[in-house]
Amino acid sequence: MVGAGLPSFHRRFEARSTFRGASLSNTVERAWGELTVGLTHDHQDWNADAYNDDADILINDQFIPDVDHDMWAGYAQIKVLTGPVTWRSGIRYDDSTMEAGDTLKFSHAITDSNRQHDRTASGYLFASWYPTDFSRLFVGVGRSVRLPTGAERYLQGSPTFYGNPDLDPTINHELDLGTTLDGVWGQWTIKGFYSDLDDYIYQQASPAKTWVNIDAHIYGIETRWNKEIVNGLTLDAGYAWQRGRKDDQPTNNEDKDLSEIPPWKTRLGLEYENNRWAVRAEWLHSGKASQIDEQAGEVDLADWDVVNLTASYHYSEHWSFHLGVENLFDESYAVANSYEYDVVSGSAATPPIVYEPGRMIYFSVISRW
């Protein structure tokens, strides 16, 4: 980890979280398709304290102030076959309650709110058309919901760094379009998407370091290709690109780029399978991360190349052995930026950047029963 502005002592965070839940679902199959209905219930408790690890002193006993999150959801999904078109659709309703059990000693600077009750609906409609045996066109529209986390609403870091209990859930309306073509030259899939984000949860530096809701949008394309060159030998490749932009701005942030948007990436792989053996070589490349939110503390990241090797042997139906080398040439690279004021990574003008591990060799034995 590199970056200025970290505290002069080592911090230790002790977090305790319990999660329990239950779900019930039923699927009915008919000649026209199938229908699934279900009900789920989840409950999570989350509490965290911060320590000066050098002196073993408790410095914040309400870092995550005993947050309870209780959620009920009901859903239904349907799949319908109508000739060359397959339809899939689903709806979901969530009823969520979130509350901190301790006093919000820092968040009271912006609000006296605590308990939040969110009722949200989501759904999707996806259609696939098969004009020939070797092609498919697909389109999907959907609405999804992302609830604020316990940290985003209730973190109590300091008088200048705290959560925002008044955060609304993020609503994502998305459109996907794509096609798959299959022929003697291989199988090719191309997909594009556009995502409109209402009340997107974003970090803001004023009047304190906290989270706020803004509107934004993300769009991008993805393509994948694979072909069996000779019996057992397959070549595959992929490319992904996306861009994120703000529709309105957090306080004291005029940068239009959305943070945490990865640069373009490519993948080229070669795999050979023969009975129980499989070996694979993979080259990954990422472009330079330059479309960044500098006013949120992000920095340019250099492009990088990584080569990975894997080999596997399936001894039997229940046992397999795997050997691999990741980052074969021991490259130094970072795949992701970090916010200027991540929860545990510091608060300097130059944020810490966590680099990926160097060369790693691993061996694993997998048993399935």
Task: Check pLDDT > 70 for residue 355.
Answer: yes
What pLDDT is recorded for position 164?
A: 95
Which position has the token pair 């080592």?
10
Q: Give per-residue pLDDT as tens, 234-268.
A: 999 999 999 999 999 998 889 999 988 999 999 99
Task: Check pLDDT > 90 for residue 353.
Answer: no
Task: Check pLDDT > 60 for residue 126.
Answer: yes
What pLDDT is recorded for position 7?
A: 58
> Which segment of 47-56, 75-84, 95-104 scores lowest on mean pLDDT?
47-56
Q: Give per-residue pLDDT as tens, 47-68.
A: 999 998 888 899 998 999 999 9
| Residue 164: Cβ-neighbour burial (10 angstroms; 0-12, 13-18, 19+) | buried
What pLDDT is recorded for position 342?
A: 54
What the block records as the tokens of 340 is: 């200027």
Q: What is the mean pLDDT of residues 61-76?
A: 95
What pLDDT is recorded for position 3?
A: 42
DSSP class per residue in 123-158: EEEEEEEEEETTEEEEEEEEEEEEPPPHHHHH-EEE
Q: Give per-residue pLDDT as tens, 130-173.
A: 999 999 999 999 999 999 999 999 999 889 889 999 999 999 99
Task: Check pLDDT > 60 for residue 339.
Answer: no
Residues 6 or more apart whose CB falls under 8 angstroms from that of 313 comprise 276, 277, 278, 320, 321, 322
What pLDDT is recorded for position 1?
A: 38
What pLDDT is recorded for position 35?
A: 96
Coil, strand or helix at 46: strand
Q: Give per-residue pLDDT as tens, 272-328.
A: 999 899 999 999 999 999 899 888 878 889 999 999 999 999 999 899 999 999 999
> Which segment of 218-222, 231-235, 346-350 scores lowest on mean pLDDT?
346-350
How far apart are the C-alpha atoms of 351 and 6, rounded to whole Å? Answer: 9
Kindly state the helix (H) or strand (E) to which residue 194 belongs, with its residue range.
Answer: strand 186-204
How far apart are the C-alpha atoms of 235 and 240, rounded to whole Å? Answer: 18
When pLDDT is cut at 50, 70 and 90, the band that residue 229 belongs to is: very high
Q: Do residues 167 and 215 make contact, with C-beta atoms less than 8 angstroms apart? A: no
CA 147 remoteness from chain centre = 14
Q: Cβ atoms within 10 A of the Cβ of 185, count?
A: 9
What pLDDT is recorded for position 208?
A: 82
Task: Check pLDDT > 50 for residue 183.
Answer: yes
Q: Give per-residue pLDDT as tens, 4-37.
A: 445 566 788 898 999 999 999 999 998 889 999 9
What pLDDT is recorded for position 55?
A: 85
How far apart are the C-alpha atoms of 34 and 89, rounded to whole Å? Answer: 11
**Average pLDDT value over all residues in the chain:** 91
